[in-house]
Structure 1
Amino acid sequence: MATFKDMNLQVGARLQMAVQNGAKQLIYYTELIGYLDKDYLIIKTPVENGLSIQIQVGEQVTLRILSGVDVFTLTCHVKTIFRAPHHYMHLSFPTDIQSIALRGAIRAKVNLPVQVNGITQAGVIADISVTGAAIIADSALGELNQEALISFDFPIKPTNQSAHIDTSVTIRSIQQLPSKKKDAPPRFSHGVLFHELELTNQVMLLNLVYESMNRLS
């Protein structure tokens, strides 16, 4: 089990907040305003469709935070809600903190059309993590260790709003895939490493990975 100090949290850190609503888990994004050690956390109240979300004192929330190469999961309860004009809340100080190292890059199986160097639907992302992806294409998209620009979209649960990511990558591996049918044209698998992703994009990708893990659990 991790400790609060292990997270090295900074004011303004982006957070993913999950709230259980019956059988459905609602996912929101917010940021850390501050904390009082061993007493409470202060976060912005998440906003949806221009309005603060509806949440009650005493409700349990799960926070996920990407810090360095680790994902930390915290369980808290809402202690106090401050409404207009500032919209923030106090959460109980977390005592149960779990961490997963992303050095092994937890990956989600997906099927996302991707543009590479401006070419529409140059290939399909077959799996993805917060550090990189595997892209399947009908031809090699470049050379080993070459940089490329990619862009892709994916839905954000539970609203299915579309998230869009543009990022530069480095092609770390290229492999020709065996043909499933005789005389079928060759296909190529590319392992790419993301360059500096914005924290908001990292958190959205993290949510995509967790959604995939929940479907498999």
Structure 2
Amino acid sequence: MGNAKESSAKEGTAAGKSAKPDKFTFEDMRLKVGDRLQIQPPSRLSQERFFVKVIGYLHNVSLLVTAPMTPHGLRLQLIEGEKLVARIFSSQNAFGFACTIDKICKLPFDYLHLSFPSEVQGSQVRKAPRVKTKIIATVTTVAGESVPAVITNLSANGAMLDARRNLAEKGESIKLAFRINLHDIDAYLSVTAVVRALFADGAMDNGVTFVHHGLEFVNLQTNDSVILQSLIYQHMIEHPDTMI
């Protein structure tokens, strides 16, 4: 019994340290043309992170990406030989690698030749990562009533829905319709969800009380599932502070 307890304790300790980055190969990232990378430039330029797109690579030679641009549409003033850190979420992993700017090209458009990653680090994110959101939704209740609500956090498997009143009881199903923007393209989703949790906040400063509905999506269409997963990963890479 004592050994079993010690073993469990060790496993718990190991689980607590599972966030430590592991080493991966370039192929593990499954990079494709058009994939978005988050780039961290030298601190002399900015503390912000910028987004670029993969336009190609030659294995063990070079990785080609579009040049990072400022929010005002200006090219970031990088210098050949400077080091960058790149990050991407792919499948269930968050990857990162250091690279060097080998060449800055301006014709026929602005792009960079980056050194081919010699070491890729990564860590597994949970199966259903959840992000904070503020998405307006229309809920259709069991009684067929349409009610406005707000999705305050979202995963590929479910959501937290806030409304000014109780929209359903635990175990009941509701229909949820909402619009999202994925890579600058609007997508409209209509999904069925089961209420798994229900609780209310105290009155806010304006006197309004919100009821929180913990939802689990059911019978998701394949296309809707793909859109939700893509949206979650887009949020994770563009707004890492929204991860829950």
TM-score (norm 2): 0.63
Q: Does 1:149 align with 2:149?
A: no
What's the CA shift string for 1:102-149, capped at 9, x where partnerless? 3433444x4x43211388962251x44577643333345678665523
Corresponding residue to 2:212 among 164, 188, 197:
188
Distance 2:66 2:166 in 1: 45
Going from structure 1 to structure 2, the CA distance change for 1:178 and 1:212 (only over 3 Å counts) comes to: closer
Corresponding residue to 1:83 among 100, 103, 106:
106
Q: Mean Cα displacement is larger for which, 131-140 or 49-58? A: 131-140
Distance 1:13 1:207 in 2: 12
Aligned counterpart, 1:158? none
Q: Does 1:117 align with 2:141?
A: no
Structure richer in helix, relative to its length: 2
Aligned counterpart, 1:205? 235
Q: Does 1:16 align with 2:38?
A: yes
Amino acid at match of 2:80: V
Q: Contact (CA 8 Å) 1:170, 1:195: kept in 2 or not?
A: no
Going from structure 1 to structure 2, the CA distance change for 1:67 and 1:117 (only over 3 Å counts) comes to: same
What's the CA shift string for 1:9-55, capped at 9, x where partnerless? 22222222222435953222221111122222111112333332221
Aligned counterpart, 2:47? 25
Going from structure 1 to structure 2, the CA distance change for 1:47 and 1:22 (only over 3 Å counts) comes to: closer
Going from structure 1 to structure 2, the CA distance change for 1:36 and 1:179 (only over 3 Å counts) comes to: closer
After TM superposition, where is structure 1 displaced by more than 6 Å over at least 4 residues in a row?
118-121
Going from structure 1 to structure 2, the CA distance change for 1:192 and 1:98 (only over 3 Å counts) comes to: farther
What's the CA shift string for 1:79-104, capped at 9, x where partnerless? 11001432111111112312233343
* Greater C-alpha radius of gyration: 2
RMSD: 3.8
Going from structure 1 to structure 2, the CA distance change for 1:77 and 1:133 (only over 3 Å counts) comes to: farther
Amino acid at match of 1:210: P
How many residue pairs match? The answer is: 200
Secondary structure in 2 aligned to 1:196? helix
Structure 1: give runs of 5+ residues left out of the alignment. Answer: 154-162
Q: Does 1:96 align with 2:119?
A: yes
Structure richer in strand, relative to its length: 1
Q: Contact (CA 8 Å) 2:180, 2:186: kept in 1 or not?
A: yes
TM-score (norm 1): 0.70
Distance 1:24 1:47 in 2: 12
Q: Contact (CA 8 Å) 2:236, 2:242: kept in 1 or not?
A: no
Percent identical among aligned pairs is 24
Secondary structure in 1 aligned to 2:227? coil
Aligned counterpart, 1:136? 162
Q: Mean Cα displacement is larger for which, 37-46 or 200-209? A: 200-209
Q: For residue 178 of structure 1, report the CA deviation from its aligned partner.
A: 5.3
Q: Contact (CA 8 Å) 1:16, 1:203: kept in 2 or not?
A: no
Q: Contact (CA 8 Å) 1:129, 1:205: kept in 2 or not?
A: no
Distance 2:229 2:65 in 1: 16
Structure 2: give runs of 5+ residues left out of the alignment. Answer: 1-22, 140-145, 218-223
Q: For residue 177 of structure 1, report the CA deviation from its aligned partner.
A: 0.9
Aligned counterpart, 2:65? 43
Q: For residue 185 of structure 1, report the CA deviation from its aligned partner.
A: 6.2
Distance 2:47 2:240 in 1: 12
Amino acid at match of 1:51: L
